[in-house]
Amino acid sequence: MKKSSFKIKEYRTQFIQELTPIYDAGEAESFFYLILEEKHQLKRIDLALHPDLVFSEEEIVVWNSILEQLKQEIPVQYLLGKTSFYGLDFEVNENVLIPRPETEELVEWILESQKSKVESQNIRILDIGTGSGCIAISLAKNIPNAQVFAIDVSEKALATAKTNAENNSVNVTFINQNILETEDLRQQFDIIVSNPPYVRNLEKEEIKKNVLDNEPHLALFVEDNDALIFYKKIAELAQENLSKNGQLYFEINQYLGKEMVDLLEKMNFKNIQLRKDIYGNDRMLSCHCEERSNRI
């Protein structure tokens, strides 16, 4: 019996139509091409050059299942199991946050400030709450000879991060540890960086359904009345374990820029710089600590 097939161009029209009540047409179209490239290694240009290309019946079953899941607002990155961050491929799943463009900006900032330093090659870097490993791995990839360490409380997240390090051919030492229960980092680091959970429960309403329903809450949320809990702890550890001239970097909650600066000033951190992301929100911060005496 001859199997039926479907013209890809026609399927595309239907796919976009079915998604447009939920996503705008541009986004729906971008999903289509992302999946086409990932599943069939075909690009937009291939479809233009070969308008008669078809999907087999089996392929349509797969596409329809993806379409259904997109309708339920499951992020396309989880459906494909991968995303790209700072030009590198990362495996992602429900145990890790999908890396965000804001976090790429933080990586860019760190790399920029390293460039000007002569001694930048042999530095030691620690990423706290590494998740998919996106920060640690992109720093390892771009700072040759840096020794990179990464901590996460979630074993499942670390398994994903390890795969990502292998796939990107970098050496990162992963440590399964709860930072809130850590008393001493035991070693000195030249850079400590963290994108810890920072979304307050009171901000839940602002969070999109696709994030809320699918991404790990462990990596996102903090209590309203103790929103800076991770930053306080990490800054305390940094006071002891940041090397002389070492630098601390944070991704932060856009509404808590001032509170973050106050906190770090009180703890006697120096040269505190607050930066906005491409959307104009206070999103990242860097500082260093010169003196070790004035702890709170």
Residues at the binding site are 129-133, 152, 195-198
Among 111, 220, 229, 263, binds ligand GLN (CB under 6 A): 220
Is residue 199 near ligand GLN by the rule CB under 6 A? yes
Is residue 74 near ligand GLN by the rule CB under 6 A? no
Tell the burial category of 73 from Cβ atoms under 10 Å away from its Cβ (0-12, 13-18, 19+). Answer: middle
The binding site for S-adenosyl-L-methionine consists of: 129-133, 152, 195
What is the spatial distance between Cα 96 and Cα 14, in angstroms, rounded to a whole number?
32
Is residue 92 near ligand GLN by the rule CB under 6 A? no
Is residue 211 near ligand GLN by the rule CB under 6 A? yes
Helix (H, G, I), strand (E, B) or coil at 170: coil
Is residue 153 near ligand GLN by the rule CB under 6 A? no
Site residues for ligand GLN, 178-197, by CB under 6 A, read: 195-197
CB of 271 to ligand GLN, least distance (A): 23
Question: Residue 186's CB: how many other CB atoms inside 10 A?
Answer: 8
What is the spatial distance between Cα 268 and Cα 262, in angstroms, rounded to a whole number?
10
Binding-site size for ligand GLN (CB under 6 A) equals: 8
Give the C-alpha distances (Å, rounded to integers) separating 205 from 208, 262, 268, 279.
Answer: 8, 27, 35, 19
Is residue 47 near ligand GLN by the rule CB under 6 A? no
Is residue 138 near ligand GLN by the rule CB under 6 A? no
The binding site for substrate consists of: 195-198
In terms of CB distance, is 154 or 195 closer to ligand GLN? 195
Question: Residue 246's CB: how many other CB atoms inside 10 A?
Answer: 19
Is residue 229 near ligand GLN by the rule CB under 6 A? no
Instruction: Give the residues across from 84 on adjacent strands.
Output: 89
Is residue 154 near ligand GLN by the rule CB under 6 A? no
Instruction: Give the residues across from 270 on adjacent strands.
Output: 288
Is residue 78 near ligand GLN by the rule CB under 6 A? no
Helix (H, G, I), strand (E, B) or coil at 84: strand
What is the spatial distance between Cα 16 and Cα 13, in angstroms, rounded to a whole number?
5
Question: Footprint of ligand GLN on this chain (CB under 6 A)?
Answer: 100, 195-199, 211, 220
